[in-house]
Amino acid sequence: MRIIDSHTEGEPTRVIIGGGPDLGNGSLRERLLRFKQNHDHFRSTAINEPRGSEAVVGALLCEPEDSTCATGVIFFNNTGYLGMCGHGAMGVAATLAYQGRVGLGLCRLETPVGVVEANLLTPNRVAIENVPSYRYRHQVSLNVPELGTIVGDIAWGGNWFFLIEQTPVPLTLQNVKPLTAAALQIRSELERQQITGADGEEIDHIEFFGPAESSNANSRNFVYCPGGAYDRSPCGTGTSAKLACLAADGKLMPGESWIQESIIGSRFVATYHVGSNGEIIPTITGNAFICGEGILILQRDDPFRNGISLAGPA
C-alpha cells in the first residue's frame, strides 16, 4: 500500500495513493459503503497501530464520478468513516500538489457528502470551501452525571457536532485527559438520551470552546473525534459548524473572518458566504505540510498485519 503522509496544523493525514481496495463504480456514498462492508481491513491496516495511531485520518483516493473533480476521496479513522474532513481535504490538496497532479489555484475534491473546492494559495496553504453547514438545534440542555447540566448546539459542518461554550476545565494540553473524559461522557449521554442530528444521524464529535491564548484569535477549541482522539488542528468541519452557529446568532457576518485556535495553538482562518438558497457555505484556510512518503508492508505470518483493533488482531 503506497502512502503519502502530511499534517495540517498539527493533525496528520495519511493519503493512500496506491494499493487500496477496488471499490468499483458509482457514487462516493456507494463506494464508501462497499469499503465499510467488504474492505474494512484496509482501513485498519493503514490507520491502526503498529503502522499508524489514533490521531491519523486516512484518505483513500479514487476515481471521481464528477469529471470536474481532481479526485474522489473517502476519509476514515481508527474506528470508522467520515463524511468529510476539513484538515484531511487540505492534506489531500497539498498531496496532489506535491505529486504534481494539480497546480496552484482551484481544484475540486469529490467526497461522500458532496464536492469540496480546494484553493491552493501556495503548495502548502489551502483554502477549503466546505459543504453547506447549518445549525440543527439551539441550546440543547443535557444532564450529564458528574458534569451537571451541559448546554450546547447541534450543528452540521460535514460531520455532526455538539458545540459547548462552557468548558469543564481550561483548554490546555495539560488538561487533555479530563477534557477527553468529559467529552466521552457527553457523547455517551447524547446516545443514551437518543439526541441525534438530522434523520437520526449520530452526533460523533464533541467540541468545547474557550478564550483564545493568542491576542489575534477569536476562540480556542478542543475537539473530541469519533475514534477517541482529540483533533490537533482547529478542526475544519467543527469550525464550519461553529460558523453556522455564529451566523444563526447574528454574531458573524458574511465575509468576516473568524480565527479558530486549536488546543495546541495552531489556527484556521474561517469565513462564510450565503448560498443561493440561504445556506451557510464556509471557507476554511490553513497550512498542510508533507512529512512522509512510503510503502506499508503486510507480511503473511504477521498476526497484526491488518492492524491492532480494540478487540485484538483485525
Which is nearest to 260 in space by CA: 278, 236, 228, 292?
Answer: 236
Q: Give the amino acid at 141.
A: S
- Reply yes or no: is the peptide bond before residue 50 cis, omega within 30 of 0: yes
Which is nearest to 15 in space by CA: 309, 300, 220, 290?
Answer: 290
Instruction: Note whether 285 and 121 are within 8 A (CB).
Output: yes
Residue 113 to residue 93: CA distance in whole angstroms: 17
Is 85 catalytic? The answer is yes
Is 62 catalytic? The answer is no
Which is nearest to 298 in space by CA: 16, 31, 38, 41?
Answer: 41
Three-class SS state of 291: strand
Cell of 168: 469543564
Cell of 247: 451566523
Residue 215 to residue 10: CA distance in whole angstroms: 20
Of these residues, 69, 107, 225, 235, which one is catalytic? 235
Torsion angle of C-alpha atoms 133, 17, 11, 162, degrees rounded to 10: 30
Of these residues, 62, 85, 107, 225, which one is catalytic? 85
> What residues does 274 pair with on adjacent strands?
280
Residues serving a catalytic function are 85, 235
